[in-house]
Chain A
């Protein structure tokens, strides 16, 4: 008797669970982290952007194809040798609260970002090339620059450059805006419960027309297997990157109603070297270590093919990527010769520092250690808590001979990686100082000619490869877990999924 009651209770539970997720035209998305504030100038997380790209618009827009197209600006023009950019603004656009969008809103947004309020957040430093914004008329603004900024138009398509409503913020204040954001985007926030979820509703008056969905709920789920369980039980429709671990791809694809959709992402991984002391101060040893490791085998097995071996510290979409540049070959024989040449005794030990919470990379590091064992190096792995590694160990130059560096960047421009990794005295460059490299990195920053700049960035990549400053491992794919009821889903490399065209079937 008891059994049947229990069974009834369970079927009831299942029915209720199913009922709760079957509203017409509504979508539930699992996101790994709650950014805490929706204000664009407080931004620092990809997972802010994956939600906020639906709430806000920028002057420019960049979709999953990574092409820069008009957003709130319909047209722009570079003047004064790239020291001034004139934007013609879209007319008839309104914010979710009914406030009109115009030149004043643009000026307000950037004055705020570059002013006192922006100084409290991390976004300002991306936009310091802007000296001021002038209103020419209601729908024309001029951006005056301190120096030409080749990446600025891209930067205007996201993060700190999202246009915010002046009247609303002045009326309600910044704290209120953090949790009750208003933009011009295709969806508006109706309810935000910190650390739990945020509910959005379609904004019918969006300038590109109303989205197909009625509502979207983002639930914050940090445990990957929990998010996947939610997907498989049909309570979540999309799981955003970087949640899904490689090991769960098969379980998602094996399930009849779910699949993994992937696209190359800007995230790259490398094991960087201590080029200052120890055996890795010797260029030959660094090259030997790289050649000792079969990176393709790592991608094929540990990453289940969801990545690409890289020759320099950038993926193929990156501006500065050189398809001609080949990675070091896998050649343990040559590696051993080089080690012998450099006078490294077999059995010499070295330490690899990694992030402790990164399950996939822990596997990669162990395979690397096994390959190094093969050429007579005893590698030990030291996991650190992520913050400790990023905060104390790397910047202070207290790493082992090798350390994990995971790097991304939504601008897809090699400058954002190379300058920070290789320029003397940068935070992420605790060991190396190379005047040739410094000069190249500095000069590309003010070149506005795209072709010229690309060539220079490619030679930076080539130079770092020759000096073997790191062991470039792979670029990772962004993995989305998607339910079969989702239609028109196109994965975005930068996790910024705009849901305008996405729909659901019942």
Chain B
């Protein structure tokens, strides 16, 4: 087991280094931050640009810059933004909770919708409620998320003035972004709940409960659902990683002060340290979640350890 753990950790480390290397390299191909900084400054000369580059440390060879970044990473220092010198750690420290809370809220919306829908679908398998639920949830999956977001803003903020159209202030501001992300996730989750539930309903344990004469809803929600909670939780956990990646567009539409907005602006401004920082932190999150799941499976299923 220790060997397996060590091996997995080594792999995770490799992935992290590869990811940061790719990102640092790629963004440096996209253009010169000095030009962005100098934009609108009037008569800028090559000498001015060279001076700004030097001040940002961009006159160094790539490998030196990258090693510098790795060194900082080990000590928890992600550098400073090119745009005004705010420490990247501070920016991420503010944005990460915003993104995580939105991700949790979205997951919550999706779970709250998909459990009753999935259970209903499973119980009425093959009959019309099953069909309707599956098709309607697929409609949710088929919306382009940014379009759904814009439509919600148009309806709920502009037409009826019920919810704030953007920003993160109070619980009301969570409703639209979380609904946008949540509705899209629901299609997948309804299906998952339905399948897991069907398997459970077929098990002997439920047959026994039914035979004892327990009421239908008690059997469903107390016994069956609890029984399939482990695979569901695992799956929702995995989904969290995917959610983090997909949140960028929705954050942008709602001006959500999260990692997506931060990264998007950083690309536009060629703010290398911020982009490196955000992707590193996101990747680290995804890698950790995957690692946790793997290790958990490793404990449960010895066959996994060998592969």
Q: Is A in direct contact with B (CB under 8 Å) within the complex?
A: yes
The smallest beta-carbon distance between A113 and chain B, in angstroms, is 13
Contact of B43 with A225 in the complex, beta carbons under 8 Å: no
Residues of chain B lying within 8 A (CB to CB) of residue A137: none
Report the Cα distance A390→B34, complex, angstroms: 12
Is residue A44 within 8 Å, beta carbon to beta carbon, of the partner chain?
A: yes
Report the Cα distance A122→B255, complex, angstroms: 29
Given A122-B44, A221-B166, A226-B255, A390-B55 contact (CB < 8 Å) = no
Residues of chain A lying within 8 A (CB to CB) of residue B91: 194-195
Report the Cα distance A392→B30, complex, angstroms: 9
Contact of A232 with B158 in the complex, beta carbons under 8 Å: yes
Given A13-B163, A420-B43, A391-B83 contact (CB < 8 Å) = no
Contact of A387 with B30 in the complex, beta carbons under 8 Å: yes
Closest residue of chain A to B33, judged by CB?
A387
Report the Cα distance A408→B41, complex, angstroms: 10
Interface size on A, residues (CB 8 A): 58
Which of A46, A126, A175, A194 is in CB contact (< 8 Å) with B43? A126
Residues of chain B lying within 8 A (CB to CB) of residue A107: none
Closest residue of chain B to A126, judged by CB?
B42
Is residue B85 within 8 Å, beta carbon to beta carbon, of the partner chain?
A: yes
Closest residue of chain B to A425, judged by CB?
B46
Q: Which residues 159-194 of A sit at the B interface, judged by CB distance below 8 A?
A: 175, 178-179, 193-194
Is residue A96 within 8 Å, beta carbon to beta carbon, of the partner chain?
A: no
Is residue B261 within 8 Å, beta carbon to beta carbon, of the partner chain?
A: yes
Contact of B157 with A233 in the complex, beta carbons under 8 Å: yes
Contact of B84 with A44 in the complex, beta carbons under 8 Å: no
Given A13-B163, A36-B85, A391-B48 contact (CB < 8 Å) = no
Report the Cα distance A419→B45, complex, angstroms: 12
Contact of B268 with A387 in the complex, beta carbons under 8 Å: yes
Contact flags B25-50 to A (C-beta < 8 A → 1, else 0) = 00000111001111111111110100
Which of B36, B38, B81, B253 is in CB contact (< 8 Å) with A226? B253
Contact of B169 with A20 in the complex, beta carbons under 8 Å: yes
Report the Cα distance A411→B254, complex, angstroms: 35
The smallest beta-carbon distance between A123 and chain B, in angstroms, is 6
Shortest 4 CB-CB contacts between residues of A and residues of B: A36-B84, A37-B84, A36-B83, A229-B165
8 A–B pairs (Cβ distance < 8 Å), ordered by A: A44-B39, A46-B40, A122-B37, A122-B48, A194-B84, A195-B257, A409-B42, A427-B44
Apart from A36-B81, A194-B81, A387-B270, what 14 extra A-B contacts exist at CB < 8 Å? Answer: A10-B160, A36-B83, A37-B83, A119-B51, A122-B48, A194-B84, A195-B94, A196-B257, A221-B255, A222-B265, A223-B252, A391-B35, A408-B40, A416-B42
